[in-house]
Amino acid sequence: MPTPRDALLRLAPLLAIAGCDAGPYVRTCAPGSACALDASLATDVPPRDITALDVETLFTDLVDLQIQPADALVVARGEPVAQAFSLVGVYRNGMTRTLPLGTWRSTDASLGGIDAATGRYTANGLVGGTTRIEVEVNREGMPARVLQTTLRVRVEREFFATGAPTTARGTFGATPVTDATRAVTLRYPLAGAVMPQNVAPPDVQWEGGVAGDLYRVTVAKPNVTVTGYVLHTGAGFRFDWPVDPVGWRAVVESDPTAPVTVVVDRWDGRNVVSGAPASLTIARGSLLGVVYYWDLRAGKILRIPDASATREDFMPTPPRRASDGSRCVACHAVSRDGRYMAAELFEGQGPSAVFDLTRDLRGDPPPTRFAIRDAAAWVYASWNPDSTRLIANLLGGLFLVDPATGERVPSMGTALPTDDAVMPSWSPDGRSVAFVDNFVGPGPSAFEQSELAVLPVTAPDTFGPASTLARGTDLATEPQRGRAIAYPSWTPDSRWIAFQHGPYSESDIETTPGAPRRRFPAAMYLTSPTGTTPLRMTNASGVDADSDAYFPNFSPFNQGGYYWVLYFSRRDYGNALAGTRGTGRRQLWVSAVTNNPVAGRDPSSVPYWLPGQDVASDNVSGFWAPQACAPRGTHCQVSSDCCAGTCGPDATGALVCNPPPAGSACRRSGERCGATADCCAGLECAANVCLAPPG
């Protein structure tokens, strides 16, 4: 025999709500409204069962439907937490009943999920934010009726550094005081910085305090608070706290558009002394790949993969010069696909080499694509998009190189510039080459006056006449003064060119042996390949005559509404114990640059320090490249060499990378690819990685 519940479910499509027309029924419960949450319903209690009812009375007397609780809040501390929702009917006599009707859903899967049948929501405890909770009630012959409310998930995580007492939370429960003489000074991260989503957790660094002090480091967004308690342990204390990776993930993924606030408060044995907060932004995009940079102390190229943010000595024993044993690898350039590195060897106009970065380069000597010889030499070089040509200079003058053989290749069309042309940069679309022209000075890396010019590429190995985009003399009144333009670099969409400007092309020179080197300021600028007025990147470079930004190189990614420029600077990173404060050591920094620059506005953002570097070293000349892999149609040995697909024979029997087999799973966001066709819907293959299109 059917039960009253069965009868109710059969009659659900006939639900008639007094006073409603035939349109969709949408109700949002706002705080303070008639459907506001009764505190007794805030707990996770299963819906009340419907007992035997007069079904006719149930529907004729029903005047309203509500979701309870409305606008709920749950707090997660690293573990999943549940919240039950129910559909409640309100009757003319003021009575309410829980109705087992409708299909439940939530709108933000990153926070957790809801059981469609029961309305039981489970927050994953990892990400905070607000999601909309909906229940859809179908009525025969009518549009679906949807009720809505919100659920706010707050994530709170606490971490205790070594030695910090577990009672620290209570210590900081005291009313804080404001006293600039006792407050700590936050040194890193920098206020106003913009970081990508996948950046490694920052090392929060500060100054101020004595042994025995307690510090509370708070990293927060509206719906997440990560707290670290740190004890000043005396000698050797570094005044820093590397944010816990789990906590940092919660910060990055919660409230995507909200700024992050970082503050360090101090307990000095008498009071909680408030610190001044710094605010930074997490962009809605990730930067993948590898940074290859020159460690001056080691005299070799190291790399930092995005996945680990840990430097790797991938070529520990570079080729050795027989005459003096030099193993120095200096000026270098990485191909657009991340597979090859061209590098100058042995310091100063020595022979050059090309390394295949998909091979094991730990041997002594590491393998090179062609034999090292004096005839194959250049200082600066840049790759064309398909890695079949290098455009390079030795002393002055540009020439083409076949990177597979090291041989020079004749150019056609207008002759390439000679004598005073250096530092070429091939555009990612292959249509242009930017370079430094008319330099005045010893060169090819040291000069005090120059211009920025561009060559059109009209056909393979064919170039048109050069045109001048910017003159160093026209920027001589800028804060850093000077007439030298150096190191052009293209944005990944080939729409803009960054360059360095200052009194000298190098950051310092030796004037007297054994004496401190003379330093020069420099700032970065952005211009278009048509020669628009250069835009000074002040947030990245510095505002005054002491601006400090050299050798810009754009990452291959256009993500989160930004280009991302990598450069080196002597600016202080953090404090003197955990960072580089006061040393002037060169370190790599990254600045977000708007991908829609506006005339007259600074396109750059305050930078962040590239994680993974050695703060005891001078690090310069960074190149951001995709993970090394072989694109379609190129030589391979095994399938793992390939960006996507498999390694197999082509028509000639040679092993090459082929497309993925038909019917294979599409590549998801962040996975390697050989073409956009490999990626799942809505993604594109950019620098060998499936990513959302720029925007």
Q: What is the pLDDT of residues 252-294, one digit of tens each?
A: 999 999 999 999 999 999 999 999 999 999 999 888 899 999 9
CA 108 to chain centre: 22
In degrees and rounded to multiples of 5, residue 181 shows phi and psi of -75, -20
Q: What is the mean pLDDT of residues 337-342?
A: 94
| Tokens, residue 606 | 């305050």
CA-based nearest residue to 537, from 492, 468, 587, 491? 491
CA–CA distances in Å: residue 307 to residues 335, 587, 626, 688, 690: 20, 20, 12, 15, 15
The amino acid that residue 114 corresponds to is I
DSSP 525-564: EEE-TT-PPPEE-HHHH-SSTT-B-EEEEE-S--BTTEEE
In degrees and rounded to multiples of 5, residue 395 shows phi and psi of -95, -65
For residues 376 and 382, what is the distance between their CA atoms, to the nearest angstrom? 15
For residues 597 and 595, what is the distance between their CA atoms, to the nearest angstrom? 6
In the 8-state DSSP scheme, what is residue 661?
A: P
Residues with Cβ within 8 Å of 159's Cβ and at least 6 positions away in sequence, in order, are 226, 227, 228, 229, 244, 247
Query: What is the pLDDT, as a whole number, of residue 3?
Result: 41
Query: What is the pLDDT, as a whole number, of residue 35?
Result: 34
pLDDT at 100 over 90: no
Q: Are 450 and 434 in contact (CB under 8 A)?
A: no
In degrees and rounded to multiples of 5, residue 7 shows phi and psi of -65, -40
pLDDT band at 9 (very low <50, low <70, confident <90, very high): very low
Query: What is the pLDDT, as a whole number, of residue 597?
Result: 96
Residue 623 CB coordination number (10 Å) = 25
For residues 597 and 163, what is the distance between their CA atoms, to the nearest angstrom? 48
Q: What is the mean pLDDT of residues 178-196?
A: 97
For residues 126 and 155, what is the distance between their CA atoms, to the nearest angstrom? 7
Q: How many CA atoms lie within 13 A of 437 on its CB side?
A: 18
Query: What is the pLDDT, as a whole number, of residue 26?
Result: 33
Q: Give the chain's mean pLDDT.
A: 89
CA-based nearest residue to 188, from 467, 663, 578? 578
**pLDDT tens for each residue of 352-377:** 999 999 999 999 999 999 999 999 99
Residue 117 CB coordination number (10 Å) = 10
The amino acid that residue 56 corresponds to is E
For residues 551 and 546, what is the distance between their CA atoms, to the nearest angstrom? 16
Q: Percent of the chain, pLDDT > 70?
A: 90
pLDDT band at 350 (very low <50, low <70, confident <90, very high): confident
Query: Is cis: bond before 631, omega within 30 of 0?
Result: no
Higher pLDDT, 227 or 95: 227
Query: What is the pLDDT, as a whole number, of residue 643?
Result: 85
Higher pLDDT, 95 or 140: 95
**Residue 267, beta-bridge partner list:** 214, 272
Q: Are 338 and 628 in contact (CB under 8 A)?
A: yes
- Using the structure block, give the residue that is written with the tokens 């002393």: 395
In the 8-state DSSP scheme, what is residue 473?
A: G
For residues 559 and 581, what is the distance between their CA atoms, to the nearest angstrom? 31
**Residue 73, beta-bridge partner list:** 152
Contacts 24+ apart (CB under 8 A), 541-545: 541/604, 542/571, 543/479, 544/479, 545/479, 545/480, 545/481, 545/521
Q: Are 145 and 24 in contact (CB under 8 A)?
A: yes
pLDDT band at 21 (very low <50, low <70, confident <90, very high): very low
For residues 101 and 501, what is the distance between their CA atoms, to the nearest angstrom? 68
CA-based nearest residue to 220, from 174, 279, 171, 298? 279
List alpha helices for 519-653, DSSP H: 538-541
CA–CA distances in Å: residue 291 to residues 197, 304, 560, 566: 17, 5, 19, 9
By CB atoms closer than 10 A (0-12, 13-18, 19+), residue 136 is middle
CA dihedral 26, 28, 33, 34 (to 10 degrees): 40
Query: What is the pLDDT, as a whole number, of residue 58?
Result: 52
By CB atoms closer than 10 A (0-12, 13-18, 19+), residue 490 is buried
Provide the pairing of β-strand 145-160 with 224-231: parallel
Q: Report if pTM > 0.85.
A: yes
CA 554 to chain centre: 13
Higher pLDDT, 638 or 388: 388
pLDDT at 346 over 60: yes
Residues with Cβ within 8 Å of 197's Cβ and at least 6 positions away in sequence, in order, are 252, 253, 282, 283, 284, 285, 286, 560
Query: What is the pLDDT, as a whole number, of residue 416?
Result: 96
CA-based nearest residue to 145, from 21, 8, 55? 21
Residues with Cβ within 8 Å of 360's Cβ and at least 6 positions away in sequence, in order, are none
| Tokens, residue 545 | 């005559």
Rg of the chain in Å (alpha carbons): 31
The amino acid that residue 192 corresponds to is G
Higher pLDDT, 99 or 225: 225
Taking CA 218 as the corner, what is the angle to CA 214 and CA 223, rounded to the nearest 5 degrees?
A: 150
Query: Is cis: bond before 417, omega within 30 of 0?
Result: no
Q: Which domains does the chain have, with CATH numbers?
A: 4-154 (2.60.40.10), 161-282 (2.60.40.10), 391-625 (2.120.10), 639-691 (no CATH)
pLDDT at 16 over 90: no
For residues 22 and 140, what is the distance between their CA atoms, to the nearest angstrom? 11
| Tokens, residue 57 | 């009375």
| Tokens, residue 288 | 């993948």
> Which range has the worst mean pLDDT, 260-264, 402-406, 446-450, 515-519?
515-519
List alpha helices for 114-174, DSSP H: 168-171
Residue 419 CB coordination number (10 Å) = 11
Residues with Cβ within 8 Å of 542's Cβ and at least 6 positions away in sequence, in order, are 521, 523, 548, 549, 571
List alpha helices for 232-370, DSSP H: 245-253
| Tokens, residue 145 | 């009726």
Query: What is the pLDDT, as a whole number, of residue 59?
Result: 56
Residues in the chain: 695
Query: Is cis: bond before 513, omega within 30 of 0?
Result: no
pLDDT at 55 over 60: no
329-334 β-sheet, strand order? 329-334, 340-345, 352-356
**Residue 462, beta-bridge partner list:** 412, 459
For residues 282 and 423, what is the distance between their CA atoms, to the nearest angstrom? 33
Query: What is the pLDDT, as a whole number, of residue 670?
Result: 82
Pick from 86-95, 505-514, 575-584 the range whose average pLDDT is largest.
575-584
Query: What is the pLDDT, as a whole number, of residue 695?
Result: 64
